[in-house]
Amino acid sequence: MRVVARNYRARSGGGEIDLVAWERDTLVFVEVKARSTEEFGAPERAVDREKRLALVHAAREYARRANVEWRHIRFDVVSVVLRDPPTLAHTKDAFAPGLGL
């Protein structure tokens, strides 16, 4: 993937996207969650319905401004646990916007 934006905030408010990247012809919006332990669950569990709605809101604005059709959009989640050694999990297509989120 080629990262084209970091910490993108929608001008209309209500959402921030950690990373925006291109993978071939797909614009990927990536949410990164990190935790020191998994004591209270995996980091990706923090990407709840409210967070997904905010991500979709910001992504719609970004896609509109970049003139990218919605069918070329994907949402990924990167989960990091900061143990020794750290672990990283990348979930492609973590959720589909509009399907009950």
Q: Which domains can be identified in the chain, with CATH numbers?
A: 2-91 (3.40.1350.10)
Mean pLDDT value of segment 47-73: 93
Residue range 76-89, pLDDT digits in tens:
999 998 888 988 99
| pLDDT-above-90 percentage for the chain | 63
pLDDT of 101 reads: 52
With CA atoms as reference, report the closest residue to 90 among 18, 42, 39, 30. Answer: 30
pLDDT of 42 reads: 77
Helices (H) and strands (E) in the chain — how many of each? Answer: 1, 5
Per the CB < 8 A criterion, the answer to whether 61 and 97 are in contact is no
Residue range 13-56, pLDDT digits in tens:
778 999 999 999 999 999 998 888 777 777 787 788 889 999 99
Q: How far apart are CA 99 and CA 95, in angstroms?
A: 8
pLDDT above 70 for 59: yes
